[in-house]
Amino acid sequence: MHKPDFILDLEKQASSSIEQLREQKFVKNMPFMLGELDLSDNHFYYEYANGDIAIAEFELQTQNHKVLRFLTIEEADNLREKFNLLPCPIYT
């Protein structure tokens, strides 16, 4: 099924905005959060400016997060491919 041009334009604008936000986070040395429906509730990925990606958990009681583990290089590369994310210029 073919998407209307205005939907394709909106998707392109959204992707561009997300990529800009990602780069802004990295410039400030802050992690970028990647949500993933395949993860358990309250779990998400953090991508860091140095290229590391971690699985983290949001703790409802404390309203904080904790990193559960860092992905291997292969896992991180596969996740970036899944999300269609290019390596950020900061760590390339």
Number of domains the chain contains: 1
Q: Provide the whole-model pTM.
A: 0.77
Residue in 15, 59, 14, 51 with CA at minimum distance from that of residue 31? 51
For 46, the domain range is: 5-91
Reported as half-sphere exposure (CB side, CA atoms, 13 A), residue 29 has a value of 0
Q: What is the pLDDT of residues 4-47, one digit of tens each?
A: 888 888 888 988 888 898 889 999 999 999 888 788 889 999 99
Mean per-residue pLDDT over the chain, rounded: 87
Please tell me the distance from the alpha carbon of residue 5 to that of residue 65, in angstroms, as a whole number. Answer: 39
